[in-house]
Structure 1
């Protein structure tokens, strides 16, 4: 039988089960086997790996992962797809589908109970575009440790994840993600690779944890809040955003001036000009001053 993700078989499955992509769940079905195999390659999937997939759909990527991984645990929120996946993935005994929102899952507990044979744990998924950022942040901020995260997302979001200081795409998301990870775009995916074709192009992003962080932040959640506050009004100067974040009393202004002088930062600089290290240093400084 042809692979699930061939155009003909995908359409046959959709017709058989009277399925159509749900816009509310960001569903688009990838029908390019070459792209799917490149995703699996980007994650360096081997028979030693335990894989978590998010949103398997009708099982196109799941099948390719199952052919190479030790086990695939797929989280599918759409209950209507469960019986479809039971059918399309019937021949793969190393796949388990869980009908649960990944954002509601206790991943450390699930990993411990479902992956009986220990080994590398990787996330490989075609993420729903409307909820890409919350899922990534939840994966990174949770207590589960992943050897690699390889996910498809809207190209525009991918550009923000890998952006460098001074670029138009560089912002709070760039800093938060790159503080924790080595981040790269593995390759781009044209919209014509999907049924139905989305309105935007996509990209595969690979995230791997930075092993040694020389200057760790005091608290990751507070650091994220600080960085977001610094970019709250992107067109304003860094100084104005700091005042919006901390206040405008004479005492606060004095502390802010001392901080900028201490790190040799121009008050008139734009927030996108500062490096990740500068944001870390400032956040830790304000924490020491009991301001964060």
Structure 2
């Protein structure tokens, strides 16, 4: 019986819907011998079926009471390592053996989901794929195409690092306590080679951030501190467009031009 009360400060909402758990496992195709990492295992709704797949599992949990609960609940499994740690500061790459790729899964707390994904992507070279339960609104933004109202910095930067795919929505009643919003499952597969060539991802991030800072501004106005509108037009990009109409490839061209100016 679960006697753990979900804690607001940790953003805890525990998954209990068996049909959703079944759908997740149908989507992830976990196999014996793989190395998986689960972030925020909660009460172990996904942990237990993962362990039964005879794979190697590391879980990272911040709440010490839950760590104690998980240690007791899964004491019989020798393929589990529990890390009592803050995922935002955790060294995920240290879990991977040389040449090994990790598969990552998690029901991420809404308040830290974006910084946590970028923290993981700093170690993208040792990650095979990631499956996350996030707010549906965040998943929509990650997967948005240019021209959409949802398209923004998160779309451009995540798509620079990963192939992104919305899998399915998860209704609030699948959790205890039920959150105020619908969730969704997203699949992120780090690119073997980035889809665009740039020298410095920090410059790309700066250009994209400035461009989207005030969505209603045209590129000409949004990027005037970084690049002239003549230079933008010379790249074959219309400086009177807004950031939401600019593709990743076009942002990469703008970024390369800014890099040259900074050199």
TM-score tier after normalising by the smaller chain length: over 0.9
More displaced stretch, 197-206 vs 89-98: 89-98
After TM superposition, the score normalised by the length of structure 2 is 0.94
Corresponding residue number in structure 2 for 1:272: 244
Kept after mapping to 2: 8 A contact 1:54/1:126 = yes
Kept after mapping to 2: 8 A contact 1:43/1:124 = no
Structure 1 counterpart of 2:2, from 13, 27, 30: 13
After TM superposition, the score normalised by the length of structure 1 is 0.85
Structure 2 counterparts to residues 56-95 of structure 1, below 5 A? 56-95=41-80
Structure 2 counterparts to residues 177-188 of structure 1, below 5 A? 177-188=158-169
Displacement of 1:144 in angstroms is 4.9
Structure 1 stretches (4+) deviating beyond 6 angstroms?
none
Kept after mapping to 1: 8 A contact 2:103/2:128 = yes
Query: Alignment length, in residue pairs?
Result: 263
CA distance in structure 1 between the partners assigned to 2:106 and 2:194 by the alignment? 27
Structure 2 counterpart of 1:172, from 153, 157, 174: 153
CA distance in structure 1 between the partners assigned to 2:244 and 2:122 by the alignment? 23
Note the aligned Cα RMSD (angstroms).
1.7
The gaps in structure 2 that reach 5 residues or longer are none
1:263 aligns with 2:235: yes
1:283 aligns with 2:251: no
Displacement of 1:79 in angstroms is 0.8
Corresponding residue number in structure 2 for 1:50: 35
Cα distance change of structure 1 residues 241 and 29 upon mapping to structure 2, 3 Å threshold: same
Corresponding residue number in structure 1 for 2:202: 221
Three-state SS of the structure 2 residue aligned to 1:13 is coil
Three-state SS of the structure 1 residue aligned to 2:249 is helix
Corresponding residue number in structure 2 for 1:30: 15
Displacement of 1:214 in angstroms is 5.1
Displacement of 1:110 in angstroms is 3.0
Kept after mapping to 2: 8 A contact 1:152/1:202 = yes
Displacement of 1:128 in angstroms is 0.7
Three-state SS of the structure 1 residue aligned to 2:228 is helix
CA distance in structure 2 between the partners assigned to 1:168 and 1:179 by the alignment? 19
